Amino acid sequence: MSLKSKTSLVLAIISSAVILQGCSNPVYEELSASQPISASTNIPADYKYLIGPGDSLNIFVWRNPEVSTTVTVRPDGMISAPLVEDLTVSNKTPTQVARDVEKALSTYIKDPIVTVTIGGFVGPYHEQVRVIGEAAQPQGLPYSEDMTLLDLIIRVGGLTEFADGNKAVLSRIENGQHKQYTIRIEDLLQEGDLSANVDILPGDIVIIPEAWF
């Protein structure tokens, strides 16, 4: 091989290395460093739904239909209702809100009895479960008791054709610490491997990367 040919070959190899290095994805590398997660998670036994902005609340005041109403929680986490102004309800349970409404109404009504139910579920942002990346419909969803990865993926319409489901990552806060776990969505959906159907907790984030062909 001539000196000129050898030089051209070396330059070609160097160029290829530079191109490959430029295509590296730091985010993908970080996700790949995550640890596997157990299918079973200690879900809080005393979990109760917390109200958040956007929730629809049905307020029923016994024997007082004129002050019974349906309201939507404002972005500031408060509601306004007949005889009740600027009551903070975000991050409270419906029962807690009912007691607060009773206290507010007691100035005008003797011994009010209030029941609060939820007509539309959104929940506080810190408890919503989010799916981002190569999901068919990336979005944030209200957490539901006993929610699993399969439930979540069905809600977002599955994966795109470009997804690398077995390199997906579940991001979670545990004891104040941020942790990442690898999850196997493709094995769950395509192979029916139920060991990959991990439990989902409030505030979890599922990140689905794009496959590198």
Query: What is the DSSP secondary structure assignment for residue 199, as one 8-state letter?
Result: B
Position 36 confidence tier, pLDDT thresholds 50, 70, 90: confident
Examine residue 193 and state whether it is found in any structural domain, yes or no: yes
Neighbours of 22 (CB within 10 A): 7
Asked which of 120, 138, 164 is the last residue of a domain, the reply is 120
> Which pLDDT belongs to residue 213?
67
Do 148 and 177 lie in one domain? The reply is: yes
**pLDDT at residue 67, as a whole number:** 97
AA identity, residue 13: I
Average pLDDT for 23-29: 44
Exposure on the CB side of residue 22, measured as CA atoms within 13 A = 6
Sign of CA dihedral 194, 195, 201, 205: negative
Residue 1 lies in a domain: no
Helix (H, G, I), strand (E, B) or coil at 194: helix
| Residue 12 reports pLDDT greater than 70 | no
DSSP H stretches of helix in the chain: 3-22, 26-32, 94-105, 149-155, 185-190
- Is the domain of 100 the same as that of 133? no
pLDDT 10s digits, 86-125: 999 999 999 999 999 999 999 999 999 999 999 889 999 9
Mean pLDDT of 29-33: 48
What is the spatial distance between Cα 171 and Cα 62, in angstroms, rounded to a whole number? 44
59, pLDDT greater than 90? yes
Q: Does some domain include residue 181? A: yes
In a domain? residue 8: no
Helix (H) or strand (E) holding 36: strand 35-36
60 and 97 share a domain?
A: yes
pLDDT > 70 fraction of the chain, expressed in percent and rounded: 80
Count of the separate structural domains present in the chain? 2
Domain boundary among 102, 120, 138: 120
- Which residue range(s) make up the domain with 213? 30-39+124-213
Cα–Cα distance measured from residue 24 to residue 130, given in angstroms and rounded to the nearest whole number: 26
Same domain flag for 136 and 103: no
Q: Compute the average pLDDT of residues 165-191.
A: 95
Out of 120, 151, 175, pick the residue that ends a domain: 120
Residue 106 sits in the same domain as residue 191? no
Q: Token digits for 20? A: 């490959």
197 lies in the same domain as 134 = yes
CATH number, residue 161: 3.10.560.10
pLDDT at 193 over 50: yes
Same domain membership, residue 213 and residue 128: yes
User: β-strand 129-133 against 114-120: which pairing, if any?
Assistant: unpaired
Question: Are 60 and 17 in contact, with CB atoms under 8 Å apart?
Answer: no
Kindly report the three-state secondary structure assignment for every residue of 131-176.
EEECECCCEEECCCCCCEHHHHHHHCCCECCCECHHHEEEEEEECC
Whether residue 212 is found in the same domain as residue 130:
yes
Q: What is the mean pLDDT of the chain?
A: 86
